[in-house]
Chain A
């Protein structure tokens, strides 16, 4: 199974500041024939199911604010929150869907400093 490793496990960021979460895959999730990275990002708030933020590594899902952006390729990916808002406090997960089973990172907890 592909192993997804996120860093850091947690971070505290001031309101309005940038938050950066990293995700590393044990193997490339880039499919060369279509040049797509099979990588998604989710946000999970306490007591709620995860919410899809980003798919294909950098495409925002419908309704997701543009302060959320995804980047990277191959094995290294980043989720950036450009200006942290109070409602962004949550745990964030990356997920690969290049291989079966799809696998998730361990999660990164984002808090307000």
Chain B
């Protein structure tokens, strides 16, 4: 079973950027599709986009286009999410999650990182 380990909590100023990492173990990272999902305090789940490291394919949710960048380092089995121009509304827990079986169209999320709290405050 794949395990996803995320970087620690961050406190950022409005207008700055944050970069969250997600390291995978227990499987073949290159074959994965990794999605990023965020959850504001006390709120629901919001998909931000996904990256497929093998093919260097990225898909961003329209809401985050131009402000988010996904990258991956196959040598360390690590995916990264960078969000820029931070505002208070970006305060949330950010999760990485593995898409279960993309070749079969199964984009449910079967493994999740523990989450990274990003707090945006002046």
Residues of A at the B interface (CB closer than 8 Å) are: 31, 34, 36, 38, 40, 42, 49-52, 55-56, 61, 93, 95, 97, 100-107
Q: Please provide the 10 A-B residue pairs with the shortest distance between their CB atoms, ordered closest to farther.
A: A49-B112, A40-B108, A97-B107, A55-B108, A104-B45, A101-B61, A52-B110, A101-B47, A102-B47, A106-B44
* CB-defined contacts of A52 to chain B, threshold 8 Å: 100, 108-110
Q: Is the interface of A mostly helix, strand, loop or mixed?
A: loop
Contacts A49-B114, A50-B112, A55-B100 known; A93 to B107 CB distance under 8 Å? Answer: no
The residues of A that contact B62 with a CB separation of less than 8 Å are: 101
Q: Are A93 and B61 in contact (CB under 8 A)?
A: no
**Contacting pair B44 A104 (CB below 8 A):** yes
Residues of B near A55 (CB, < 8 A) are 100, 106, 108, 110
* B113, A49: Cβ atoms closer than 8 Å: yes
Chain B count of residues within 8 A CB distance of the other chain: 22
Chain B interface residues toward A at CB < 8 A: 35, 44-47, 49, 59, 61-62, 95, 97, 100, 105-110, 112-115
Contacts of B35 in A (CB 8 A): 102
With the chains together, A61 CA to B109 CA distance in Å?
A: 11
Contacts of A95 in B (CB 8 A): 45, 108-109
Q: Which residues of A contact B46 (CB under 8 A)?
A: 104
Return the chain B residue nearest A55 by Cβ. B108
- When chains A and B are docked, how far (Å) is the Cα of A49 from the Cα of B109? 11
From known contacts A49-B95, A49-B115, A100-B59, infer whether A105 and B44 are also in contact, taking CB-CB under 8 Å: yes
